[in-house]
Amino acid sequence: MGSILFSRRAARVLNVLDVFGIAFILVMAFAFQIIMKDLPCPLCLLQRFGFLAMGFGSALNLLYGFRASHYALSIVASIYTAFVALRQIALHVVPGTGGYGPEFLGLHLYTWVFIIANLAVLYLCFVMSFAEQYQRHVRVNGHNGFLRKLGKVGIGLLFILVLLNALGVYFECGFGQCPENPTSYIH
């Protein structure tokens, strides 16, 4: 039966929310890029990569079943993303040096990335600690049919976002080094 506190269904709901949450963040990043003409710098691109990598663990959970190793991959990606964001904060934190890019609710986007990445580490450590989700069942629960399909839609969305980011990087940087303060596309 499993614990009421954290069933496999609850774990599936959370992983589906993870996937769509990360997709939402990346879509917002594209909105800033296309609508506000705010081209991503190299560190910004690494943070986008970090978010997509954070979604990989959740994707594996939804495709292959819940494993602590899948959560671990997302945690490593979250720590990486936090380091990259912290680097960008450090570059602009000294008074007078000026920030980079637009602000949201008073904080720069890289500051929000740092906050979200650290919260993600805490969240993933909390979620992965519930053992009930790792119990394997023989019978497939029919109530999860909609969630399984929704999960696959989310994974497909993440895959499309990875491809779109690759395309955006090609238009911005080609195959070479990306400019530090990009103002226009080179292709």
Partner 1 sequence: MMFLLFCSLSVAFAIAWLGYRRSSIAVFLFSLAFAVVWFLHHVTSHINIDL
Chain residues binding partner 1 by CB under 8 A are 42-43, 45-46, 49-50, 52-53, 56, 59-60, 63-64, 69, 73, 76-77, 80, 83-84, 87, 155-156, 158-159, 162-163, 165-166, 169-170, 173-178
For residues 172 and 178, the answer to whether their CB atoms sit within 8 Å is yes
DSSP letter for 132, please.
G
3-state helix vs strand vs coil in the chain, percent to 5 = 70, 0, 25
Whose Cβ is closer to partner 1: residue 14's or residue 42's?
Answer: 42
Judged by CB, which is closer to partner 1: 64, or 183?
64
Burial 104-142 (b: 16+ CB within 10 A, else e): eeeebbbbebbebbbebbebbeebbebebbeeeeeeeee
CB of 106 to partner 1, least distance (A): 27
In the complex, least distance from residue 169 CB atom to partner 1, rounded to whole angstroms = 5
Smallest separation (angstroms) from partner 1 to the CB of 21:
17
How far apart (Å, rounded) are the C-alpha atoms in residues 148 and 16? 9
Whether 186 and 177 have beta carbons less than 8 Å apart is answered as: no
- The 10 Å Cβ neighbour count of residue 23 is 21
C-beta of 91 vs 107, nearer to partner 1? 91
Q: Pairing relation of β-strands 107-108 and 103-104?
A: antiparallel
- Give the residue with the Cβ less far from partner 1, 80 or 123: 80
CB 105 to partner 1: min, Å? 27
Q: Nearer to partner 1 by C-beta: 83 or 123?
A: 83
What is the number of other CB atoms lying within 10 angstroms of the CB of residue 46? Answer: 18
Report in angstroms how near the CB of residue 11 gets to partner 1 at its nearest: 18
Q: Compute the least distance from the CB of residue 27 to partner 1, in Å.
A: 16
Residue (63 or 103) nearer to partner 1, CB: 63
